[in-house]
Copies of this chain bind each other. A is one copy, B any other.
Amino acid sequence: MTSLDRLLETHPQKPTTNFDAVAACLSACFECEQACTICADACIGEAHSDMLRQCIRICLDCADVCATTGRLIARQAQPDEKLWRTALEACVQACRSCAAECARHESRHEHCRICREVCERCERACMELMAAYPSGASAAPRH
């Protein structure tokens, strides 16, 4: 159990159900922010960075969206269900678009291949968190 999982466990309004899905999504979002930030910078540093323009941009966008989604998920207590859902949908879209763009360059750039894998993992974690809270039900018990 990581320090962050233990931290979530000690939250006075910790998620009583779906703890694992919350912890996994939180971790995946921050991993993806870091991967996209590194991949954008690596793309900027490549010899033909002008061929990687779109990849740089979507990596920067995906890093920002993942960072914000991670922070929303970290705020455990009384989340706003509608906001959670739209934020997770934006994050799924960011990861999907970034993975698709990175896939186009992964035969030449290993950083794009790794970044694509991290984006796919984050997309899955967001989908699983959304699935854990069926639409119409509250995203989490309100206190």
- Interface assignment of A10: CB less than 8 Å from any CB of chain B: yes
Chain A, interface residues (CB within 8 Å), range: 35 or more
Contacts of A41 in B (CB 8 A): 11, 57, 74-77
Write out, one digit per residue, whether chain A residues 104-128 have a CB within 8 A of any chain B CB (1) or not (0): 0000011100110110000000000
Contacts of A3 in B (CB 8 A): 31, 35, 114, 117-118
Chain A binding surface, main DSSP class: helix
Q: Which of A7, A77, A89 has the most CB of B within 10 A?
A: A7
Closest CB of chain B to A136's CB: distance in Å?
16
Whether A46 touches B12, Cβ cut-off 8 Å, given contacts A80-B97, A89-B90, is yes
- Interface assignment of A103: CB less than 8 Å from any CB of chain B: no
- Interface assignment of A39: CB less than 8 Å from any CB of chain B: yes
Taking Cβ atoms with an 8 Å cutoff, the residues of A that contact B are: 3-4, 6-8, 10-13, 26, 30-31, 33-35, 37-39, 41-42, 44-50, 53-54, 56-58, 60-61, 63-65, 67-68, 70-72, 74-78, 80, 82-83, 86-87, 89-90, 92-94, 97, 109-111, 114-115, 117-118
- Bound Cα distance A125, B109 (Å): 29
Q: Which of A42, A77, A118 has the most CB of B within 10 A?
A: A42
* Contact residue among B57, B77, B111 (Cβ-Cβ distance under 8 Å from A75): B57
